[in-house]
Amino acid sequence: MKTQDLIDQFGLTAAAGKAGIDREIAGGYCGDLLSEVMANAPIGCVWMTIQVHQNIVAVAVLREMAAIVLAMDNQPDLETCEKADREKIPILLYNGSSYELAGKLYAAGIVNETADE
Amino acid sequence: MAALKKSFQLKSRDFIHAGEASISVQNMLKQIGIESALIRRVAICAYEGEMNAVMHGENGSFRIEVNTDKIILDISDEGPGIEDIAKAMEKGFSTASEEYREMGFGAGMGLPNMETHSDRLDIESEKGQGTRVVMRFSLSPGSRENKTGQSA
């Protein structure tokens, strides 16, 4: 499944980084502590978080993520959008919780393969 | 092969540019064809070191050197220093402010992450004298993929 399919199927809105929406999704991760996500999120995943500041983009780039989803109707900072556009990391908005979306993604077949290291 | 070096200045509390040195290092390692699993380890360490210097330090500097047999990340700052390094290495220990914690930092995972993902971590610090963190990663002959720099 690609990020564009995710948007279409689950009613997400792309707030930024639209140039990157044709990437294949290789798993999912939920987390709001950046060091924890940095160390454990699967490469190529879609990351569900409530953090909205610009440093989430660097984490996504370094973990080669497919997209970031801001759950619970959280809105990204302006700087976050600018950075996401520059790095082609889609920032998607979802009005439900990370838990709810993670369940839907799992049911749709987005599961994590073995840990990358 | 001559050593490849790159260095960056890190500004205190500059969250607009924070992370860019690490991303640049990641791109550089991809270009020279370092294997992806190693790049990911370096990226974790680079990011943690960079964020620490930006959040806690003053006049930070970030250097990377790639030799034939190792990659060295050398990150230093003129910040407040670490009072008790052993304590700082404990998982969950953090001196981060409430503001940084709200941003998702300060979970006390930075230094433990650096220790786990590097082959060797050396910290020199003294209270009021700044901090220098040096991380080394062994490069075995198999650590380099073909010259095209394609990663899996």
Contact criterion met (CB < 8 Å) for B19 and A35: no
What's the pLDDT tens digit per position in A2-34? 999 999 999 999 999 999 999 999 999 999 999
Q: What is the CATH number of the domain that holds B23?
A: 3.30.565.10
Residues of B in contact with A49 (CB under 8 A): 104
Position B149 scores a pLDDT of 39
A32 at interface of B, judged by CB pairs closer than 8 A: yes
Q: Are B32 and B24 in contact (CB under 8 A)?
A: no
How many whole angstroms separate alpha carbon B24 and alpha carbon B9?
A: 13
Please check whether residue B152 lies inside any domain of the structure: no
In order of A37, A79, A99, A108, B139, the CA distances from A31 in angstroms are 6, 21, 11, 20, 32
The confidence score (pLDDT) of residue B36 equals 95
Q: What six digits make up the tokens of A56?
A: 């989430």
Domain ranges, residue B102? 4-143
Task: Locate the DSSP E strands across A1-117.
Answer: 13-16, 28-30, 46-49, 67-70, 91-93
Which residue ranges form the domains of chain A, and what is each CATH number? Answer: 3-107 (3.40.1390.20)
- CA of A63: which chain B residue's CA is closest? B40
C-alpha dihedral sign at A62, B49, A86, A41: positive
Size of interface A-B (CB pairs under 8 A): 73
Q: Evaluate the CA torsion angle B68, A117, B146, A3 in order and state its sign.
A: negative
ipTM of the complex: 0.90
Does residue A117 have a pLDDT over 60?
Answer: no
- A50 interfaces chain B, CB cutoff of 8 Å: no
Q: What does the pLDDT look like over A47-63, one tens digit per residue?
A: 999 999 999 999 999 99
Count up the domains in chain B and report the number. 1
Per-residue model confidence as pLDDT tens digits over B51-98: 999 999 999 999 999 999 999 999 999 999 999 999 999 999 999 999
pLDDT score, position B145? 61
CA dihedral sign, ordered A86, A87, A90, A92: negative
Residue B132 pLDDT grade (very low, low, confident, very high; cuts 50, 70, 90)? very high
Whether A68 has a pLDDT exceeding 50, the answer reads yes
B61 found inside a domain: yes
